[in-house]
Amino acid sequence: MTIALWRRLLAEFLGTALLVTAVVGSGIMATTLSPDDVGLQLLENSIATAFALGALILIFGPVSGAHFNPVVSAADWFLGRRAGTGLSGRDLGGYVAAQVAGAIAGSVLANLMFDLIAVDFSAKDRAAGHLWLGEVVATTGLILLVFALARSGRAPVAPAAVGAYIGAAYWFTSSTSFANPAVTIGRAFTDTFAGIAPTSVPGFVIAQLVGLVVGLGLLAALYPDAGRAADHVVVPADDRDPALDHRP
């Protein structure tokens, strides 16, 4: 079964857009409801993000695999090359473009929902070595989790597991776990709680790519045949809806 590429790209666009809407929107709501308690704001933001991510994987996973993240898609392409599984190079390019466009759209949507300027670039500086290290750790852990689940036949629990990991990583990483280049770019378009200054985006993206490389290296050591499971990231191919096949 092959689901048409345009359907998969639409799912990646919508899923990433709604993920960023959840991240940004819950951050705005948190600062409105708890203006004097940053810790409570982060708790509210992380819980909403974790729940939304799990739900979005359930919605869009049967169509595209619910990557919503260029590093996950890149790992899927890289690991699947030898085994003839996972994304093709053409698919990868389309997924990344859809994810970045979706992330920007999601940030704009959140701004508009809360009666803010549609595009208001963030002034929140996040350029620091310890934050970049946090992004390496967050991204490495995400890659390990996603592909370990796929390789061990536990991909059906990915909605809960990935949501739980991101929710926890908000708290145990110094960067609050962006772990996603598309989401990082999208969050530059809002000057709110979840924002990141455009000048800080390159450092975060580079750190995330380093995390991707580290994650792939650890997968090679722990799961040397992980590429065989590339079709099962994030949702098993066998669980995808057969009604959404290649026919227009």
- Mean pLDDT confidence for 58-75: 96
Mean pLDDT, the chain, rounded, equals: 93
Q: Report residue 242 as tokens.
A: 């057969």
Q: Which position has the token pair 């050591």?
A: 221
User: Other C-beta atoms within 10 Å of 183: how many?
Assistant: 28
Q: Report residue 119 as tokens.
A: 């595009």
Nearest-10 crossing angle of helices 201-222, 129-151: 40
Question: pLDDT-based confidence at 247, cuts 50/70/90?
Answer: very low
Contact yes or no for 168/59 (Cβ under 8 A): no
Q: What's the CA gap between 21 and 36, in Å, rounded? A: 23
pTM of the model: 0.93
User: Other C-beta atoms within 10 Å of 237: how many?
Assistant: 17
Q: What's the CA gap between 105 and 167, in Å, rounded? A: 22
- Mean pLDDT confidence for 203-231: 92
Q: What's the CA gap between 140 and 210, in Å, rounded? A: 8
Q: What's the CA gap between 175 and 168, in Å, rounded? A: 12
Q: What is the pLDDT of residues 76-130, one digit of tens each?
A: 999 988 778 889 999 999 999 999 999 999 999 999 999 999 999 999 999 999 9
Compare 233 and 51 and report the one with higher pLDDT. 51
Contact yes or no for 113/186 (Cβ under 8 A): no
Contact yes or no for 25/52 (Cβ under 8 A): no
Position 178 pLDDT exceeds 90: yes
Q: What's the CA gap between 7 and 89, in Å, rounded? A: 17
Q: What is the pLDDT of residues 198-211, one digit of tens each?
A: 999 999 999 999 99
